Amino acid sequence: MISPGTNLRTLRETLGFTMEDVETASAQLVSKHNNERYVITVNRLSDFEIKDAIPDIHQLYALAVIYRREFSEMLSWYGIDLNQTAADLETSAPPRTHLSYALPSTAGIQKPVRIDPSFDPRTTSNFAPMVRQWGVVPVAYLQELSKKEYSYGYIGSEDLMMQPLIPPGSFIQVDESRHRLLEGNWRSEYERPIYFIGTREGYTCSWCMKSGDELILLPHSLSPVAPTIVRSKDADIIGQVVGVAMRLGDSRNLRDDAEDH
């Protein structure tokens, strides 16, 4: 396996740079950003190339710019693969509902293929996808979807609001452009809009109705959860749930695990 230092030296020589050229270019970054951390002296560059010393984050960025390489590629030489970000998220499972923007920005976006069964957070999340297997999808393929204001949520093991229609452990797709409550006579529970709601206590998804300056969060009729009333100013309607992905047979396990905690 080629060492990072060898890669750096080969790249520099291929581009025809001397070590002094690299130091001069890094000084330009220092001047542009008014940050001395970008500087790469000849001695320090020698340490990178010969001794395999590890650049700090500013120096590695400077090398990526100077050598015209993707920063993510440079990181991969030191054992950090940004394409593994989503898979590595399983190492922590925040117990509270949260917004997350953990997906890497790459020319090929990582698309979830199979959900990791070990992912078991306890609360509803506007989530960073936790998956076992990923496939690379070109960004061009997702351009149409990028025009939509979608966010994604995870229904936590303690959130039984829409059980059994949307059981705990489900992933939901939320259209943020549909954030106004719709009223009407719905022919079935499948037609009635479900909303993803943020409150001071966290997130949930539910049917909703307004009464004066209050927002009533309505659970499914078979849910053990009681309706929740919050002041409209204390609730944020993120959007309408337009898609659901669920793993059958897991709801009871998720609930049992929550009770164990």
* 28-39 pLDDT tens trace: 999 999 999 999
Across the chain, what does the average pLDDT equal?
79
pLDDT confidence tier of residue 5, bands split at 50, 70 and 90: very high
> Based on the domain organization, do 164 and 239 belong to the same domain?
yes
> Based on the domain organization, do 101 and 17 belong to the same domain?
no
Task: Give 115's strand partners.
Answer: 131
pLDDT, residue 248, reads 65
pLDDT, residue 150, reads 79
Question: Quick one: residue 48, left, alpha or beta (phi over 0 = left, psi -120 to 50 = alpha)?
Answer: alpha
Last residue of a domain, one of 77, 105, 127: 77
Other beta carbons within 10 angstroms of residue 16's beta carbon come to 7
- Asked, for residue 14, whether it belongs to a domain, the answer is yes
Helix (H, G, I), strand (E, B) or coil at 174: strand
CA 216 to chain CA mean position, Å: 29
pLDDT confidence tier of residue 102, bands split at 50, 70 and 90: low
- Asked, for residue 145, whether it belongs to a domain, the answer is yes
> Based on the domain organization, do 58 and 95 belong to the same domain?
no
- Asked, for residue 13, whether it belongs to a domain, the answer is yes
> Based on the domain organization, do 14 and 57 belong to the same domain?
yes
pLDDT, residue 61, reads 96
Q: How far apart are the first and last CA of the chain?
A: 45
- Structural domain span for residue 45: 4-77
CATH number at residue 197: 2.10.109.10
> Based on the domain organization, do 230 and 109 belong to the same domain?
yes
Given the structure tokens 């990923």, which residue do they identify?
134
Task: Quote the pTM value.
Answer: 0.48
- Asked, for residue 95, whether it belongs to a domain, the answer is yes
pLDDT digits 0-9 by tens, 58-82: 999 999 999 999 999 999 999 998 8
Other beta carbons within 10 angstroms of residue 129's beta carbon come to 21
> Based on the domain organization, do 91 and 46 belong to the same domain?
no
Last residue of a domain, one of 77, 104, 119: 77
pLDDT confidence tier of residue 152, bands split at 50, 70 and 90: confident
pLDDT, mean of residues 243-248: 76
pLDDT, residue 227, reads 96
> Based on the domain organization, do 33 and 114 belong to the same domain?
no
pLDDT, residue 162, reads 94
Q: Which of 238, 236, 240, 242 is nearest to 207 (CA)?
A: 240
Report whether pLDDT(231) > 50: yes
Domain count, the chain: 2
Question: Quick one: residue 203, left, alpha or beta (phi over 0 = left, psi -120 to 50 = alpha)?
Answer: beta
- Asked, for residue 82, whether it belongs to a domain, the answer is no
Last residue of a domain, one of 31, 53, 77: 77
- Asked, for residue 173, whether it belongs to a domain, the answer is yes
Q: Which of 211, 238, 250, 212 is nearest to 227 (CA)?
A: 211
pLDDT, mean of residues 10-39: 96
